[in-house]
A and B are shown apart, each in its own frame.
Chain A
Amino acid sequence: DSGVTQTPKHLITATGQRVTLRCSPRSGDLSVYWYQQSLDQGLQFLIQYYNGEERAKGNILERFSAQQFPDLHSELNLSSLELGDSALYFCASSAGLADTDTQYFGPGTRLTVL
């Protein structure tokens, strides 16, 4: 158990819909990262937040957005969903911004878009 929690575990929805994925980082960790893992793309970095502020962006679609709240939990919002958005979404957390900070991953949310 990494200490990172994600809800829900599974999500099934239809094209065009909007969903919210939630992540609670390990106690004391200030950085949160979101990754997407699809069958054809592998694990891809989406976005990073540190203490409530966006710090880095990867190949995140404009239809996707995220935020980190004062209690440090984070939410990833996916809108106008397409079939290709079906994937595993992982959240990770680390202590801060140091380049040697280890990232610990949550169990993931499996999103299925029908």
Chain B
Amino acid sequence: DAKTTQPPSMDCAEGRAANLPCNHSTISGNEYVYWYRQIHSQGPQYIIHGLKNNETNEMASLIITEDRKSSTLILPHATLRDTAVYYCIVRPYDSWGKLQFGAGTQVVVTP
């Protein structure tokens, strides 16, 4: 399975965009990039996923580089409620749904 590398922590000012990087240099062509977040021991919350095209939904945007070796999750206007651990997950095509969570990035949004 492709491994992901994320910074352990980052701070973001409220109202500004938060750009969360993820490196997945060993990703295969049929593996999806998923982002989840976990707010203080609550259940992980799905944010967005993509294969090779950039994706946007009501929560965030996902930018995947052309070589697919890295991606960036963008929270356009961070709020205090976005403080959470953000997980970047590469999901193999034949994973039978299993999600492999790493350590994630602890994002703290400050006023």
A residues within 8 Å of B by Cβ? 2, 4, 31, 33, 35, 42-45, 48, 55-56, 58, 88, 90, 92, 94, 97, 99-108, 110
Check if B44 sits within 8 Å of A90, measured CB to CB. yes
Instruction: Across the interface, name the chain B residue whose C-beta is closest to A105.
Output: B43
Check if B100 sits within 8 Å of A99, measured CB to CB. no
Given A99-B91, A100-B32, A104-B46 in contact, is the A88-B99 Cβ separation under 8 Å? Answer: no
Least distance between B49 CB and chain A CB atoms (Å): 7
Given A99-B32, A99-B95, A102-B49 in contact, is the A45-B100 Cβ separation under 8 Å? Answer: yes
Given A99-B91, A100-B32 in contact, is the A2-B98 Cβ separation under 8 Å? Answer: no
Across the interface, which residues of A come within 8 angstroms of B94, CB to CB? 99
Check if B93 sits within 8 Å of A99, measured CB to CB. yes
B residues within 8 Å of A by Cβ? 32, 38, 41-46, 49, 87, 91-103
Least distance between A22 CB and chain B CB atoms (Å): 15
Least distance between B60 CB and chain A CB atoms (Å): 14
Across the interface, which residues of B come within 8 angstroms of A33, CB to CB? 97-99
Check if B98 sits within 8 Å of A45, measured CB to CB. yes
Across the interface, which residues of A come within 8 angstroms of B32, CB to CB? 99-100
Report Cα–Cα, A100/B99, bound state, in Å.
11
Across the interface, which residues of B come within 8 angstroms of A103, CB to CB? 46, 97, 99
Report Cα–Cα, A100/B96, bound state, in Å.
10
Report Cα–Cα, A2/B92, bound state, in Å.
24
Across the interface, which residues of A come within 8 angstroms of B42, CB to CB? 107-108
Report Cα–Cα, A8/B107, bound state, in Å.
29
Given A42-B102, A42-B103 in contact, is the A101-B41 Cβ separation under 8 Å? Answer: no
Given A99-B91, A100-B32 in contact, is the A56-B97 Cβ separation under 8 Å? Answer: yes
Check if B43 sits within 8 Å of A2, measured CB to CB. yes
